[in-house]
Structure 1
Amino acid sequence: MNAQPQTRPVVVAGERVFLSHIFADDAPLLAQWFADLEFTALLGQQGYSYTLEQERQWINANAIAKDDRRTFAIILRDGERLIGTCSLFGINLLHGVAELGIAIGDKTVWGQGYGREAVRLLVDYGFRYLNLYNISLWLHEFNERAYRAYVRAGFREVGRLHGATMLDGRRYDRILMEITRDDRIRVG
């Protein structure tokens, strides 16, 4: 008996991507992405390369929604292909705050706006369903593509830790960005 391909439920719908659940079967692809030193450096994890077993552990720890974390697979609508993951973490419902993280692991889709759309979907989810007021994120100055995507998604820079990141013998700023519910209403 042949197993049917696993279909992904649409949890948060977008035009070109949707957010869905992460499955155990995603571990080999995530391990491939997170073994890439260029990719992990862009995420601020310089020099790290993760194994299949580490990705399985990460999926086991993050695939189920918790009070302080929601993690999603980012799925390209065309072909329902997994292209990355995104999370709200450090969720504090009392104060209505959380941090955002995103990783587009499929390099073939970099620079096409899918990350920006996924960020907007995740922000809308946080404001609408978790009743958040403020969503923040940290990024590294050398990740200019991500900076531009966050600005286009409605985030603004609110602070810097100057020279806080070292990469290839050079110091870069660590940048704090945020979006509030009020900002989202203004930029729609």
Structure 2
Amino acid sequence: MKGQSELEETVKIRSITMNDYKYVLNWSTDEVFCHANGWQIDRKPEELYDWWLNQVYTFSIEFVRLGVEHEGRFIGYGDLADIKNHTAEFGIAIGDRTLWGQGLGTKAAAELMEYGTKNFGITTYNAETHENNLRSRKMLERLGFQEINRNGKEEYLGEYVELIQYRLRSNGL
């Protein structure tokens, strides 16, 4: 595994583009990724293209989707949703499953939150993950998120499991 300083040089947050669609299309064929991220399996490429087109060109002051780039390649995306009153829902997905567990999501998440704080004044980040998504839970805890609640259940990777809500409060930049 690369050291933290090496990851800082190879992971960055950037705008998403239509050129990223080829990666999104590839992720849509990975059943494990789709199940883990709530994506429909066997989506038609035309439908996926229209969805991605909407992601790239729709602007909202309450929702931001940014790309995650590693070594010059688009590998995932991060979301800040329901942005209001210095608060946002936070989420991140690494699309290339071969890169899971290498700390790239944690680095990208930290950059996404820095972006949210700097550009939107966000001081409180909320996140939710499934009880059996240990990588996501560890990432959130490494970033300083605290478990605040366990509310609801849903299927995740073939199991019906609890949803865990997390919160991170910061003082801004």
SS at match of 2:9: coil
User: Is 98-107 or 59-68 further displaced after alignment?
Assistant: 59-68
**Of 71, 81, 89, which aligns to 2:81?**
89
Question: Percent identity between the aligned chains?
Answer: 26
Q: TM-score, normalised by structure 2?
A: 0.85
| Matching residue's letter, 1:50 | R
Find 1:133's aligned residue among 116, 123, 129. Answer: 123
Give yes or no for the alignment of 1:50 onto 2:40: no
**Residues 1:61 and 2:54 are matched in the alignment:** yes
Residue 17 of structure 1: how far off its partner (Å): 0.4
Give the root-mean-square deviation of aligned CA atoms.
2.1
2:29 partner letter: A
2:14 to 7, 16, 20: 20
CA distance in 2, matches of 1:133, 1:168: 32
Asked if structure 1 preserves the Cα contact closer than 8 Å seen for 2:145 and 2:167, the reply is: yes
Moved over 6 A (4+): none
Unaligned runs of 5+ in 2: 1-7
What do residues 112-134 of structure 1 show as CA deviations (whole Å, max 9, x unaligned)?
10000000001111112200121
Structure 1 gap segments, 5+ residues each: 1-13
Name whichever structure is richer in helix by fraction: 2
8, 27, 32: which one pairs with 1:33? 27
Residue of structure 2 in register with 1:98 after alignment: 88
Instruction: Give the conservation status (yes or no) of the 8 Å contact 1:28–1:52.
Output: no
Q: Is the 8 A contact 2:12 2:69 kept in 1?
A: yes
Could you say if the C-alpha distance between residues 167 and 154 of structure 1 is closer, same or farther in structure 2, counting changes exceeding 3 Å? closer
Structure showing greater relative contact order (alpha-carbon pairs closer than 8 Å, 6 or more residues apart): 2
- CA 1:57–1:119: 2 relative to 1, 3 Å: same
Q: State the partner residue of 1:9.
A: none
Question: How many residues end up aligned between the 2 structures?
Answer: 165
**Letter of the structure 2 residue corresponding to residue 172 of structure 1:** V
